[in-house]
Amino acid sequence: MLDVRVETFLTVCRTMNYTRAAEQLHITQPAVSQHIRALEERYGATLFRSQGKRLLLTESGQLLFRTAAAMHHDALRLREAIRKENARRHLRFGATLTIGEYIMPAPLLRLLEREPDIQLYMLTSNTRELLKLLDQGELDFAIVEGYFDKQAYDSLVYCTQRYFPVCAPEHAFVRPVRRLEDLLEERLLVREPGSGTRNVLERALEVRNLGVRNFRRVTELGSLNLIKSLVCAGAGISFFYQPVVQRELESGRLREIPLEDCSIDHDFTFLWRRGSLFAADYRAICFLLRQGLPFPPEAVDSGGENLHNGDRIFSERKKESL
């Protein structure tokens, strides 16, 4: 169990407001302030600073948050493991919409065949929300396509996918298209801000001093299938990963828009809180899930460690709670 002052610190980090933290913890605001001061005295550093009306973490505060968040999650898992030592194992994780709907079915089938007694809980959401839930200890790990703070998480490359623009076969372009900038006259159908799919497009545009706002017309939608249907019907263009539109490309309902200056291969990332005691389990689970892919890449972690011993690691730790 974490020190109550650390619990208070984590709550303030989540709310960035002493009053709301006090309400969530059912204590007074002076008590929250006292807990934070006690931690600052213990570590000899200021944890928060004010910028106008905003409360921000200092560098020391960010370091404590990364460490304490991992400890908080591990404490929850350890308590669950002790309570359910002889019960079925539970695995809680998140995946972005693209990964959850188009990448995970085959890997999850393989995992369930190998571990029939495991109880799985998978949440699909955008990268921003999944990282938030990971920080709060609600998820064990996440598989995301969006960008993240590499200092806050340990990670493995899960797989790499092509990312490219598509349109309906008979789509009439406003002007001849050879470069990414030539698409700006088209209607862009795109996911909401915070979506990993959108983040990749925004990065590709950013290096050209452009943004989504530079498209003449933009339609934001929260459903990949709805975006695909509208693009197939000729409503505009969009950018997708290969597995998402593979069937439509093969059937001729969509076609790729070739560009001379834009070729994107993007990593999908398996990540968990940095410093977790369960890191070996997560590495093994990542490897097992990757074995179910129809296009398995070389399994190498962020430090270059080869993960082909994942089966062995997983089997050796089999009696421990996931």
Same domain for 49 and 89 = no
Cβ(277)–Cβ(71) under 8 Å? no
Same domain for 168 and 144 = no
Give the pLDDT score at 62.
87
Give the pLDDT score at 84.
57
Higher-pLDDT residue of 281 and 297 is 281
Closest by CA position to 99, among listed 120, 132, 125: 125
Same domain for 175 and 257 = yes
Give the pLDDT score at 172.
92
Give the pLDDT score at 315.
38
Identify each DSSP E strand in the chain by its residue range: 48-51, 54-57, 90-95, 119-124, 141-144, 153-167, 187-190, 217-220, 238-241, 255-256, 264-273
Strands 119-124 and 90-95: parallel
Q: Say which amino acid occupies 289.
A: L
**CA dist., res. 168 & res. 227, Å (int):** 12
117, part of any domain: yes
- Checking if the pLDDT of 302 tops 70, the result is no
Same domain for 86 and 12 = no
Q: What is the pLDDT of residues 171-203, one digit of tens each?
A: 999 899 999 999 999 999 999 998 888 999 999
Same domain for 96 and 150 = yes
Same domain for 176 and 119 = no
258, part of any domain: yes
- Checking if the pLDDT of 278 tops 80, the result is yes
Last residue of a domain, which of 220, 241, 263? 263
Low-confidence winner among 69-78, 188-197, 284-293 (lowest mean pLDDT):
69-78
Same domain for 154 and 165 = no
Last residue of a domain, which of 248, 263, 278? 263
Same domain for 178 and 33 = no
209, part of any domain: yes
Buried b / exposed e over 252-277, threshold 16 CB at 10 Å, is: ebbeebebeebebebbbbbbbbbbbe
**DSSP letter at 122?**
E
| Mean pLDDT value of segment 109-122 | 88
35, part of any domain: yes
Q: How far is CA 304 from CA 155, 176, 194, 291, 299, in A?
A: 11, 44, 29, 18, 9
Give the pLDDT score at 1.
53
290, part of any domain: yes
Same domain for 129 and 54 = no
Q: What is the pLDDT of residues 124-179, one digit of tens each?
A: 998 989 998 988 788 999 999 988 888 889 999 999 999 999 999 999 998 999 99
Same domain for 126 and 36 = no
Residue keyed to tokens 């994942």: 310
Give the max Cα distance, the chain: 68
Give the pLDDT score at 320.
40
- Checking if the pLDDT of 322 tops 60, the result is no
Same domain for 258 and 183 = yes
**HSE (side-chain half, CA atoms, 13 Å) at 24:** 16
- Checking if the pLDDT of 228 tops 90, the result is yes
Give the pLDDT score at 314.
39
Q: Which two structure tokens, joined as six digits, stand for 130?
A: 């999944």
Alpha-carbon radius of gyration of the chain: 22
Same domain for 276 and 136 = yes
74, part of any domain: no
121, part of any domain: yes
Give the pLDDT score at 64.
87
**CA dist., res. 297 & res. 231, Å (int):** 30
Closest by CA position to 141, among listed 300, 243, 299, 281: 281
Last residue of a domain, which of 17, 37, 64? 64
Q: How many domains does the chain have?
A: 3
* CATH number of the domain to which 51 belongs: 1.10.10.10
Residue keyed to tokens 């933290």: 21
> Over the chain, what is the mean pLDDT?
85
| Mean pLDDT value of segment 248-271 | 94
Question: In which band, very low, low, confident or very high, does the pLDDT at 283 lie, cut at 50, 70 and 90?
Answer: very high
24, part of any domain: yes
Q: Does the pTM of the predicted model rise above 0.85?
A: no
* CATH number of the domain to which 109 belongs: 3.40.190.10
Q: Say which amino acid occupies 166.
A: V
Domain of residue 234: give its range. 161-263
CB atoms within 10 A of CB 49: 12
